[in-house]
């Protein structure tokens, strides 16, 4: 049964009193803001809405668009500004249990615009609430944790036809904005230009929906026994104390360095491009491709543009149009020309009267002009693919790997492969890397900075595991000597120097050592894995030695081989490639990698891959038991829970197992099923089952690693408050925490940071290590 909706636009004393009383009477209350844009530091709040009861919503406009003046104007009730009224009413929300959808956005706007900090009163963020109970979100929607996506997914339980209502609201809102001369593009969505009654209904509906979703999922949270995890241990405490403060704090930039690097990388890109072009143009097959392409795109013709170019090249005395500047190539005007091969061609269209070289020059000039001024667009995979595969006769890297249009695939892997034999390909690889570094790092900080500061986003529900989805995670890892071309190293390793502590500040930079392998050793309960870290051995060497039984190979290693970094027979010293090979499967097999995938990764035969997988499992028997037990649990219950309580729901595994057991993994059985269900359905069911069995393994490790870092960040911020010092965890980058602190407190606070990171989450069987470094920028400490 649907509740009657009572939505109010607060424009007079009577509705204002109703709003005031509604706030006073409500314990749990949903809040939302409508703004002129998405930047809480620059844009304005045009109104805000609340809902303390399902079906009830109030919208108080602070700025309303005046269509005659073409501007936003302040609103008043009984001579008092609604901005002042709003500030006083919003103060009443402090101490309430506030519900938001994307609270970081709203609380930052409210604090910056009205000067009221509601962050400590945030009770639930519905995006995080849904993520905790159903981590996939509204699968199939553009934003799986968007308010409307979640509502549509749950519309039966909510008792609403949300999809139809949402569509009508959006259409109505957009039509109103457009009719008032506003923009509705993604880049510029001028919601403030909608008619007030329509905007008010839209805003109230959002808070009403937010409250309904909150109530629905709080029940689900309780049913799954996740209330403590959500409210006390992890989700909401981290959101209030870490996530939102990180987004609001931002980071100072060294703008002088950024401008310097920007200028240098443009010059280096240009130089590299010239090298690539020069070396390509020296190859006969490339010249042939250019000629063929030019003739195909711009074949000789005694009419049209080609004829215009011919007239221009021979400076023919033909009249020109004043409007277009083109030659008039009529028969009358051509006949009046002095005799020449150009005249003969224009008269007869016989290409043989022209010299072949002259014909080529015209077609090639036209091709070059329309191809961004170059004979080859070295950013075009199509052009380079034609040259490499068709003209140079090089076989594609992976047989049968084609684009959707059927062409052989020319990609970065192909370029990397070619670079071993062709200098132009190596230079092209470097050029492409420079382009990416410039756009991804240099231009981002240069173009999106605000008064010399950059604000990273941190989506706490950005991944299934609970790791942040963040642009901070895209920062490049520092490269060591020999890992890349010197010019690439120069620019990759300078990026973190852009990010500075700020005047009178320091950063305490602490990165967990091999966090995921530590989690792996602890969760599996394998004493052989735990021994690696407790004795300080090298992880990959140990895995290689046990998996491939290297100590039994007396021919290669007559004196045996060790994982002890200090030993004379340390594997990395004796056979570095053997150690490196273990990197491909050291975590992969734990995550469910089977022989076929390992075969493709290492480029070995199936038998060798099977031997490696079996050797790995035999070498770490408790790991093998953990893999089997985890899979039994997800088959039986349809979910897996990590060490600290986060859940991963995998109902498709349970459903498939109940119906078919493990026969779904047998290709012969799947073939039989195709007759009943069809090939596509069986294939998808198999993939879901196989992936689910692997996900139940990797989730336990990745989500635990995320929890270790997130909970440490929470304790660091709380400790800073307890000590009364100016320090904040300003960013998380993978397993690294960066704490911004007043210069005078850095030395004192660093040991606290280390102690918190190493001991907040105790992992059985292993000891975490996170040594801190005090630095002036993000590069010095990493």
669-703 pLDDT, tens digit per residue, is 999 999 899 999 999 999 999 999 999 999 999 99
Whether the CB-CB separation of 193 and 36 falls below 8 Å is answered with: no
Helix, strand or coil, per DSSP, at residue 639:
strand
Q: How far is CA 544 from CA 467, 556, 583, 683, in A?
A: 29, 14, 9, 34
- What letter does residue 142 receive in the DSSP assignment? S
Opening angle at CA 512, ends 510 and 513, nearest 5: 125
Per DSSP bridges, beta strands 45-51 and 28-35 are antiparallel
Domains of the chain: 6-249 (3.30.420.10), 259-300+354-427 (no CATH), 462-525+624-782 (3.30.70.370)
Per DSSP bridges, beta strands 97-100 and 122-125 are parallel
User: Distance (Å, rounded) from C-alpha 5 to C-alpha 94?
Assistant: 26
Tokens of 128: 């995080």
Q: Work out the number of other CB atoms within 10 angstroms of the CB of residue 582.
A: 22
For residue range 649-672, list pLDDT tens digits in order: 999 999 999 999 999 999 899 999
Helices and strands: H and E segment counts in the chain: 34, 21
Which H helix or E strand runs over 362? helix 356-370
Q: How far is CA 669 from CA 273, 665, 672, 673, 690, in A?
A: 54, 8, 5, 6, 15
- 756-765: b or e for each residue (b if 16 or more CB lie within 10 Å)? bbbebbebeb
pLDDT at 399: 45
Tokens of 454: 């950059």
Name the one residue in this structure whose structure tokens are 């309960």: 525
Opening angle at CA 326, ends 321 and 329, nearest 5: 95
pLDDT at 586: 82
Name the one residue in this structure whose structure tokens are 């240009």: 270
Per DSSP bridges, beta strands 505-511 and 736-742 are antiparallel
Spatial CA neighbour of 428 closest among 442, 410, 443, 440 = 410
* pLDDT < 70 positions in the chain: 1-3, 139-142, 161-167, 397-407, 782
Name the one residue in this structure whose structure tokens are 């009267």: 353
Q: How far is CA 593 from CA 61, 586, 638, in A?
A: 56, 10, 21
Helix, strand or coil, per DSSP, at residue 70:
coil
pLDDT at 1: 45
Whether the CB-CB separation of 664 and 677 falls below 8 Å is answered with: no
Which H helix or E strand runs over 417? helix 412-418
Whether the CB-CB separation of 130 and 151 falls below 8 Å is answered with: no
The residue count for the chain: 782
pLDDT at 145: 86
Tokens of 542: 């140990």
pLDDT at 294: 93
């Amino acid at each position: 049964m649907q509740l009657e909706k009572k939505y109010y636009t607060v424009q007079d004393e009577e509705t204002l009193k109703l709003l005031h009383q509604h706030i006073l009477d409500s314990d749990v209350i949903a809040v939302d803001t409508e703004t002129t844009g998405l930047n809480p530091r620059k844009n304005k709040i045009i109104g805000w809405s609340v809902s303390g009861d399902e079906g009830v919503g109030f919208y108080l406009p602070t700025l309303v668009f005046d269509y005659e003046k073409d501007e936003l104007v302040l609103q008043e009730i009984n001579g008092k500004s609604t901005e002042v009224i709003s500030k006083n009413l919003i103060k009443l929300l402090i101490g309430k249990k506030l519900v938001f959808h994307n609270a970081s956005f709203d609380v930052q706007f409210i604090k910056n615009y009205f000067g009221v900090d509601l962050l400590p009163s945030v009770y639930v963020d519905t995006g995080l609430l849904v993520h905790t109970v159903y981590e996939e979100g509204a699968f199939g929607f553009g934003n799986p944790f968007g308010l409307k996506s979640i509502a549509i997914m749950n519309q039966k339980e909510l008792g609403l036809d949300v999809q139809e209502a949402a569509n009508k609201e959006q259409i109505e809102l957009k039509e109103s904005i457009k009719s008032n001369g506003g923009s509705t593009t993604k880049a510029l969505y001028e919601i403030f230009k909608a008619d007030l009654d329509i905007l008010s209904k839209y805003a109230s509906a959002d808070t009403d929906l937010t409250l309904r979703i909150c109530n629905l999922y709080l029940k689900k949270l309780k049913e799954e026994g996740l209330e403590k995890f959500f409210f006390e241990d992890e989700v909401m405490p981290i959101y209030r104390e870490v996530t939102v403060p990180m987004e609001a704090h931002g980071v100072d930039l060294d703008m002088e360095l950024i401008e310097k690097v920007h200028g240098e990388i443009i010059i280096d890109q240009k130089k590299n491009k010239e090298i690539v072009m020069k070396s390509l143009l020296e190859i006969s097959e490339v010249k042939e491709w250019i000629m063929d392409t030019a003739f195909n795109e711009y074949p000789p013709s005694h009419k049209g543009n080609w004829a215009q170019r011919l007239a221009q090249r021979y400076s023919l005395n033909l009249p020109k149009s004043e409007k277009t500047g083109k030659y008039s190539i009529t028969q009358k005007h051509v006949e009046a020309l002095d005799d020449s091969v150009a005249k003969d061609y224009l008269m007869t269209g016989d290409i043989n009267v022209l010299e072949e070289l002259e014909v080529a020059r015209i077609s090639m000039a036209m091709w070059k002009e329309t191809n961004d001024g170059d004979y080859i667009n070295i950013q075009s995979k199509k052009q380079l693919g034609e040259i490499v595969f068709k003209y140079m006769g090089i076989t594609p890297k992976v047989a049968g790997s084609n684009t959707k249009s059927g062409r052989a695939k020319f990609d970065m892997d192909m370029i990397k492969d070619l670079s071993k034999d062709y200098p132009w390909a190596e230079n092209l690889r470097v050029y492409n890397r420079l382009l990416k570094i410039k756009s991804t790092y240099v231009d981002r900080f240069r173009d999106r900075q605000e008064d010399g500061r950059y604000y990273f986003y941190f989506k706490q529900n950005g991944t299934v595991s609970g790791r942040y989805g963040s642009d901070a995670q895209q920062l490049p890892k520092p490269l060591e000597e020999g890992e890349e071309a010197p010019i690439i190293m120069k620019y990759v390793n300078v990026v973190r120097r852009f990010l500075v502590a700020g005047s009178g500040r320091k950063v305490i930079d602490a990165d967990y050592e091999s966090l995921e392998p530590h989690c792996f050793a602890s969760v599996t309960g394998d004493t052989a894995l735990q021994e690696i870290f407790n004795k300080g051995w090298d992880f990959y060497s140990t895995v290689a030695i046990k998996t491939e039984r290297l100590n039994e190979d007396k021919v290669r290693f007559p004196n045996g081989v060790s994982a002890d970094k200090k030993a004379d027979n340390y594997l990395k010293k004796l056979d570095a490639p053997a150690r490196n090979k273990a990197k491909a499967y050291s975590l992969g097999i734990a995550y469910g990698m089977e022989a076929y995938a390992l075969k493709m990764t290492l480029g070995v035969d199936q038998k060798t891959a099977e031997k490696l997988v079996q050797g790995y499992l035999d070498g770490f028997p408790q790991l093998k038991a953990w893999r089997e037990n985890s899979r039994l649990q997800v088959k039986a219950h349809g979910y897996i829970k990590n060490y600290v309580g986060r859940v991963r729901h995998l109902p498709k595994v349970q459903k498939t197992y109940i119906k078919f057991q493990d026969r779904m993994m047998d290709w012969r059985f799947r073939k039989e099923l195709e007759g009943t269900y069809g090939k596509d359905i069986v294939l998808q069911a198999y993939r879901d089952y196989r992936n689910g069995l692997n996900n139940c393994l990797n989730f336990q490790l990745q989500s635990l690693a995320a929890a270790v870092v997130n909970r440490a960040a929470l304790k660091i911020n709380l400790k800073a408050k307890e000590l009364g010092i100016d320090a904040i965890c300003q960013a998380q980058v993978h397993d690294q925490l960066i704490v911004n602190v007043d210069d005078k407190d850095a030395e004192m606070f660093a040991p606290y940071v280390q102690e918190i990171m190493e001991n907040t989450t105790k992992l059985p069987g292993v000891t975490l290590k996170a040594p801190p470094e005090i630095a002036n920028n993000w590069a010095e400490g990493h």
